[in-house]
Amino acid sequence: MTYTITRILSATVLGALVTGCATVPGDPYYDAPRYPVYEQPGYIYSAPQPVYQAPPVYRAPGVIYSAPPPAVYYGGRDRGDNRWDNDRNRGDWRERERERDRAERDRAARERERRDQQAREAARRAREADAYTLLDNFTLNGKVSVQASSLPGNDDDEWDFTTRTSAGESLQTHLLWQLNLAPMSDTDRLIAVTLIDCINDQGYLEESIDEIVESFDPELEVEADEVEAVLHRIQHFEPAGIGARDLRECLLLQLRQLPASTPWLSEAQRLASEYLDVLGSRDYSQLLRRMKLKEDELKQIIELIQSLNPRPGSQIEANEPEYVVPDVIVRKHNERWLVELNQEAVPRLRVNPQYAGFVKRADSSTDNTFMRNQLQEARWFIKSLQSRNETLMKVATQIVEHQRGFLDYGDEAMKPLVLHDIAEAVGMHESTISRVTTQKFMHTPRGIYELKYFFSSHVSTSEGGECSSTAIRAIIKKLVAAENAKKPLSDSKIAGLLEAQGIQVARRTVAKYRESLGIAPSSERKRLM
């Protein structure tokens, strides 16, 4: 490398020296060379003409850029969160919008299906409730009808208060007890136990025969005919009508257990078998025409069907009754209403003097300090109970003072009363009055009521006065009880009768009060005289 560089530098210097000394012809200092000059014959080198072909011209397709629509942000967005911007730049917002639209459509479809299902279920329950309402023995003219079972009646001396009110066995236990008394094979007993497990609290079989057959082990080879035969045996158990699959079968089972000499028995069986839906709709004219009966005859047949129990399982109650101990007793003495605490419900507490004597005044030891603190807490606790009782007495006295009309004349004389009125009278806060009146009961000559029962809103009258909602409910109940059974009062008619008494209420309000009283609409209250 060094040798090469040296040669290049030497050649350069030599060239410069030669050039500096060179001359050209015509120069006076030029001397022709005295030696022969050899001239190399020249030649012309022509390189082949290159053929250059330009590459094809690439023309990119025109890009049309469409800006995305303005981003719509739902909910809050932190300033430091650029998630929405990143998604928009990536184009993910389009997919997110499509997913949101699909989710919204699916949600709307599910909601429509749910509403449709609820409507169908409500319609089915309404059709079934029509017959239940008509046949329910606990809503028939406010009286309990005669049962078609072997249970003793209300007037039976052997059926005492304890038997009717004490906690009894469950329906399944009652049926299993009867099953143990029936001679059956092992397979039939297994089928019977399965059927009893499928009977609900109302006494109806919830599962179909096919579903029950599928629930057994295939190795047992249980057939539908066997299940049907065992079900017929269970349907002869008490109470009558147990194990039915619908209301029609329940009524027919009870009718079959009645004596053959029962009047209108065959006609009642025909009505329950063929025209139960017509009976539920209270279309008595159609019943008279189809069954070719007179009005008084149809009335007797309906009374016979109404003597049955559409819910046979309800006769067996497993719930223990709950008893209410009143906190306040109200009684009338010398034309005055007296209020007093129920001493049986008031706890009797006192400090044991023996333990109180252990506390020494001048002793500041740890044990004595502990005893002194405990004694102070016990005294404060007893004092708090006394203060509670005093507050309860004040509130109860003010309630009786405001509702003397109710105590004298009943619900129709109930006056409007709110918590604010009692709070002002006793000088306490409304929240305190609310706590005092919660789960506290008052014993009156008209019955036992919770203290909150005496509080009700008001409705203005035409004369500028006020009428409580409790009084309006009582008036509605009285009007319905006195109505013509063939032409029951509608909600609009009841609203008109209330307006005639100076009470201005809307038809919707009447419907709300009627439903709260458990009174059926006019179409369901229609019956033969």
Parallel/antiparallel/unpaired status of strands 466-468 and 458-460: antiparallel
pLDDT, position 112: 85
Structure tokens at 267: 């006609």
Q: What is the pLDDT of residues 119-154, one digit of tens each?
A: 776 665 555 555 555 555 333 333 333 333 333 334
Q: What is the pLDDT at residue 233? A: 92
**Which stretch of 263-267, 361-365, 479-483 has the lowest confidence by average pLDDT?**
361-365
Name all contacts of 150-159 with Cβ < 8 Å and 24+ positions apart. 150/238, 150/240, 151/238, 151/239, 151/315
Report the distance separating Cα 304 and Cα 268, nearest Å. Answer: 7
Question: How confident is the model over 386-404, as pLDDT tens digits?
Answer: 888 899 999 999 999 888 8
Mean pLDDT is lowest, of 10-19, 260-269, 284-293, 373-382, for 10-19
Tokens 């209108």 identify what position? 264
Distance, in Å, from the CA atom of 324 to the CA atom of 317, rounded to the nearest integer, reads 19
- Rounded mean pLDDT of 258-285? 86
The residue written with tokens 């997919």 in the block is 95
Res 328 pLDDT > 80: yes
Mean pLDDT of 361-384: 86
Weakest mean pLDDT among 75-89, 188-202, 255-269: 75-89
d(CA 489, CA 486): 10
Q: Domain 457-529 is in which class?
A: mainly alpha
% the chain with pLDDT above 70:
70
Report domain extents, the chain. 89-129, 161-315, 323-410+417-451, 457-529
Tell me: the pLDDT tens digits for 76-106?
Answer: 444 455 555 555 555 566 777 788 888 888 8
Which helix or strand (DSSP H or E) is residue 514 part of?
Answer: helix 507-516
- Backbone dihedral angles phi then psi of residue 118, each to the nearest 5 degrees: -65, -40
Average pLDDT score over the chain: 76
Residue 431 host element (H or E): helix 430-437
Kindly report which listed range (41-55, 112-126, 275-289, 467-481) carries the lowest average pLDDT score.
41-55
pLDDT band at 232 (very low <50, low <70, confident <90, very high): very high
pLDDT at 161: 39
